[in-house]
Chain A
Amino acid sequence: MIGNAERIGLFGRGARRRPTKRFFAVDGGGGAHIVAKLAHLKPELRRVASPRHANLLLIVSPLSPMMREPLVEIARAMAKPSRAIVIDTDFAIGQVLDTGSLLPQAEHVSSASVAEILRRCFDEAIPPFELGVASEWHPDSLDLSNDSTEIETEEVVLSLGPSQPYTAGPLQMLLVCDGEQIVRAELQTRYAYRGVAEAMLGARWKEAAEIAAALDPLAPFAGRLAFVRAIETLQDKALNAERTAWRDGILARERARNTLWWFVRFADLLGLSEMTRRAHAIAVRLDDRISVSPGRGKRRPRLANGREPDISRLVHHVETLARDVTHDRLIALRCKGIGLLGVDEALRDGISGPSLAASRNGNGDVHARLVARLAAAGSDLRNAANAKLDVESRLSLDGSVPAGSVDVAVEGPRGTIGLTLRSNGGECPAHVEWRRPSAVLLKVLPDVLKGQIVADAEVIVASFDLAMAEADA
C-alpha cells in the first residue's frame, strides 16, 4: 500500500496539476527569514519538522563542513521521491560545505527572489535526488553513569537538532532528562562554524569588509558597519550628522526586520496561527517595501520603487502587535515564569540587547524577552521612519588604514556586536576579534535550561533569538 498510488491509478490528472509540497529546511545560518517567509506564504508549501514527512529538502547555504553528516542523515531519512533545492545566499565565506557533491540533482536558486524560489519549489521538472554517499553520522550523546543501587527513575539523553526551528542556524542540544525535567543541558555549537574572523585575517581591507557583513547573514549591515566604523576610527575620520543618522536609521530598520521575522518563528512555535499570520504580513510588507541590499552591504538598502517607503503605517502595525502580545493573557500563561535569566547573571556574562533589557525591566523570563523585543522593534521602526534614509550615502572604505588598534561596538538585533581590530598599516588586518551576542547567550543557555521541562526548552531557546552563524563557535 505504500508508494504505489501511481501504479494502482487511484488518482486522476487534476491533482497532478496541483502539487503540494512539505519541506524540511536545513539552514546554515542565513536562511531563517527566508524559511519563515516561505512557510507561511502559501498553504501548498508547508514546513514540517520531521524529514520523513517532507517531499522537499530546502537547504539554505552556506553550510559549515560540520553539517555534512547531519545533512546526509536528513536526506537519507526523507521519503522517496523527494527533491532538493539549495538556496544560495551571498555569504559563502570561510569554510563552506559543497552541497553539490552530496546532492548532485539539487536545484540551485538565488535567495534574492522569493518568487523564483517558490516557482522552483513546485517545479516538477527537477529530478528527485539520489544520495550518493552513505551516512556515517554518529550523533553526539552523553554518558550517564548510574551507580546508584536505589530504585530511581532512569535518566535519558534527548538529542534535539542540529537542524531545528528554534534557532537561526544549526544547534544541537543534548538534554539529560529525568522524565520531562531537564537535569543538565549541553550544547554542540560546532555545526555552524565557518571561521569568519580567521578568514578576515587573510583578506585585504575591502574584502574583509565583505566578510564582516557575513558574520551575521541575517544582519549584514551591522557586521559591516562595525568593521567600517573601526577603520574610520583608525583613520580618524569624522562623519557628518546626516550620514550618522542614515546609518542609525538603516541599523534600526535591520533590527526591526530581524525581530519581526523572529516573532514569526516564535509565534509559530507556540502554535499561535493568528499572531503568526499578522507578524508574517507585516514582515513581508516591510521586506516588499525595502529591497534590502543583497547582503554584503555594498549598497544601502533601497526601495523597490526608488523612493523612501512610508513605513509609518508599519510602525503602527508593529506597535499594535506588540501591545496585543503584551496584554494577551494566554501568551502570558504559556511564557511567564520559564527560562529565567537574572539581571546580575546577565550583566556578569556580558549579555546585551533585548535579552538584557528583559532582565532589567522585567523578570527576565520568556515573556519579558518577548515583550522587550517587540517593544524594541516598534521603537526601532519608528526611529527608522523618522530618519532621513533617502540621502546619498553608502558604507564604503576609502584610503589606507594606518597602524593602530581600536574597539568598536554596534547595536545589532541580538545585542551589542563588538569588534577589536588591529592594523599594522599593511594591506590586511593584523588582528580581528569579534564579540558576538549569540555566543554570549549560548554560554548561559545550559544554566537557564537546567530544571526546566522539555516542553519549555524550545520556547526558552527560541526566546533568545540565537543566530548560530553569528556565534560562529
Chain B
Amino acid sequence: MNAALTAAAAFVMLLAASYCVAIARLWIAYGATAVRSAWWLPYAEGRALLRQSAAPPSGRDRLLFASAPWIAIMTVSLAALVIPVGPALVAFDPSIGLFYFIVVLGPFVVAMFCAGWSQNGKNGLFGAFRAAAVLLAYEVPLGFAAIGPVMDAGSLSTVRIVEAQSSLWYGAWQPLGVAIYLVAALMMSYTHPFDIPQSEDELGGGVFAEYAGARLLIFRIALDALFALLMAMGVVLFLGGGDGPLLPAPLWFFVKIVALAGVTLYAARRFPRLRHDQMLSLSWKILLPASLVNVAIVGVLILVR
C-alpha cells in the first residue's frame, strides 16, 4: 500500500513537473510577453484540446493509432516508479533500477513509431522513421553518461546512487557526464533542437500530423513528462536527489527538476533544429568518444581517491 501511495505521489509530481516544463517552454519561446499568461496557458490548451474532436484519418491502423498515446504515457509512468523522491520515498527499488529505467523507456520510441506508421500518411511515416533514427543517436551516450555515477556508487539502484552523493554530488566532479546526459536527454525526449520527428513546419506535425483532441493532448503530456522524468533521473544521478537543507526532500527534488529543466531548455534555445544526420554525427562523433573519455576520467578519479 505504501509503495502504491509513493507511486501515486511520484506520478503526481511528474505531472506537476511536466506542467512546469510546458510553462518553461512558453517562457523561452515568447519571452517577457508570456510571463503572466504562461502559468495558465498549458491548462487552457489542454482544456481546448479536450473539447475538440476530429474525424480520424481514413485507412489508419485503428489499434496502433488509438494505442500509441497510451503506450507513451504508460511508458513514462512505469519508468517513474524507480525515481526516489526522497529518502525511503521510492515506489520500486530494484537492484538494477537505472537499467530498468533505461529499458522501460525504450518503448517510447515504439509509441512514436506506431503513431507515425498508423496514420496511413507519408508525413507521419517520415516522422516515424526519423524517430527511430533518433533512437540510434541517444541510446549509447545516455547509457555511458550514466555509468559514471554507477561506477562510484557501486550499484545500479537509484536509491544507492543518491545515498552515495551525501558528501559530494556527482555533478560537481563529473561535469562532462552531466553535459552528455543532458544532450542525450534532449534527444530522447524529442525536445528542441532534436524535435525533427515532430517537424512542426516541414511535415505538418510529423508523427502527430493526424492526431487531434484528447489523443494529441495525451501525447503532449507524455512528451513533457518524459522530459521531466529524464531531468528527474539527472537529479538522481548528478545532483544528489532530494538532498538539501531546510526544505523537505520531495520539495528539494521538485525544485531541482524544474531548475535543471529550465537551464537545459534555456541553453537549447540558441540551437537551430538539427537534421537527423547531424544528430547522428553529434552522437557518434562527439558524444560517444566524450562519454568514453568521461568513463576513463571517472575511473582514474575513483582509483586516485
Chain A interface (Cβ < 8 Å from any Cβ of B): 1-6, 10-11, 14-15, 18-20, 22, 40-44, 48-50, 52-53, 55, 76-82, 156-160, 164-166, 180, 268-274, 277, 330-331, 333-335, 453-458
- Residues of B contacting A165 in the complex (Cβ-Cβ under 8 angstroms): 201
B19 within 8 A of A: no
Cα–Cα distance between A166 and B200 once the two chains are bound (Å): 12
The closest CB in chain A to the CB of B274 belongs to A334
B82: min CB distance to chain A, Å: 29
Determine if B51 is an interface residue (Cβ-Cβ < 8 Å).
Answer: yes
Q: Flag whether B276 is at the interface (Cβ < 8 A).
A: yes
B48 close to chain A: CB less than 8 A: yes
CB neighbours (8 Å) of B210 from chain A are: 50, 52
Tell me which residues across on chain B come within 8 A of A333, comparing CB atoms.
Answer: 272, 278
A81–B52 touching, CB < 8 Å: yes
Q: Which residue of A lies closest to B34 (CB)?
A: A43
Decide: B201 and A79 in contact? CB cutoff 8 A: no
Chain B residues, CB < 8 A from A274:
269-270
Q: Choose, from B152-160, B189-197, B241-249, the stretch at the interface.
A: B189-197
- Binary CB contact string for chain B from 75 to 113 against chain A (1 if under 8 A, 0 otherwise): 000000000000000000000000000000000000000
Do B44 and A458 have beta carbons less than 8 Å apart?
no
Q: Let me know if B48 and A20 touch, CB within 8 A.
A: yes
Contact partner of A53 (CB less than 8 A), chosen from B41, B50, B123, B216, is B216
Question: Whole-angstrom distance between the alpha carbons of A290 and B78 in the complex?
Answer: 57
Which of A19, A157, A455 lies in contact with B202, CB distance below 8 A?
A: A455
Query: 11 more A-B contacts (CB under 8 A) besides A271-B273, A334-B272?
Result: A3-B214, A10-B47, A18-B40, A43-B30, A49-B203, A79-B53, A80-B53, A166-B201, A269-B202, A330-B271, A333-B278
**Within the complex, which residue of B29, B200, B214 is in contact with A49, where a contact is CB–CB below 8 Å?**
B200
* Interface residue count on the B side (C-beta < 8 Å): 55
Look across to chain A and name the residue whose beta carbon is closest to the beta carbon of B271.
Answer: A330
A-B contact pairs, 28 of them (CB 8 A): A3-B50, A3-B213, A3-B214, A19-B48, A20-B45, A22-B45, A43-B26, A43-B30, A43-B34, A43-B38, A44-B37, A52-B210, A82-B52, A157-B122, A158-B126, A159-B122, A164-B201, A180-B126, A269-B202, A271-B271, A271-B273, A274-B270, A330-B271, A333-B272, A453-B275, A455-B199, A455-B276, A458-B202
In the bound complex, residues from chain A placing their C-beta under 8 Å from that of B61 are: none
Which one of B28, B43, B208 contacts A50 once the chains associate, using CB atoms below 8 Å?
Answer: B208
Q: How far is it, in angstroms, between the C-alpha of A18 and the C-alpha of B271 when the chains are bound?
A: 32
In the complex, A268→B200 CA distance in Å?
10
Which 9 A-B pairs give the minimum distances between C-beta atoms? A3-B53, A5-B50, A50-B205, A79-B54, A271-B273, A79-B52, A270-B272, A334-B272, A52-B212
Give bound CA distance, A271 to B200, whole Å. 10
Other-chain contact of A52, B28, B33, B211 (Cβ < 8 Å): B211
Expressed in whole angstroms, the minimum distance between the Cβ of B35 and any Cβ of chain A is 10
Measured between beta carbons, the chain A residues less than 8 angstroms from B44 are: 15, 18-20, 44
Output the nearest chain A residue to B44 by Cβ-Cβ distance. Answer: A20
- Confirm or deny: B256 has a beta carbon within 8 angstroms of a beta carbon on chain A: no
Q: Report yes or no: A2 in contact with B48, Cβ–Cβ below 8 A.
A: no
Chain B proximity of A271: nearest CB distance (Å): 4
* Contact present for B201 and A52 (CB under 8 Å): no
B31 within 8 A of A: yes
Taken together as a complex, chains A and B put the C-alpha atoms of A415 and B41 apart, in Å, by: 42
> Which residues of chain A come closer than 8 Å to B216, judged between CB atoms?
52-53
Please measure, in the bound complex, the distance between the C-alpha atom of A330 and the C-alpha atom of B271, giving whole angstroms.
Answer: 6
Let me know if B209 is at the binding interface, CB within 8 A: yes
Contact of B195 with A271 in the complex, beta carbons under 8 Å? yes
Residues from chain B with a CB closer than 8 A to the CB of A49 are: 200-205
**Residues on the A chain within 8 Å of B204, using CB:** 49-50, 164
Residue of B with least CB distance to A41? B33
Q: Are B209 and A52 in contact (CB under 8 A)?
A: yes
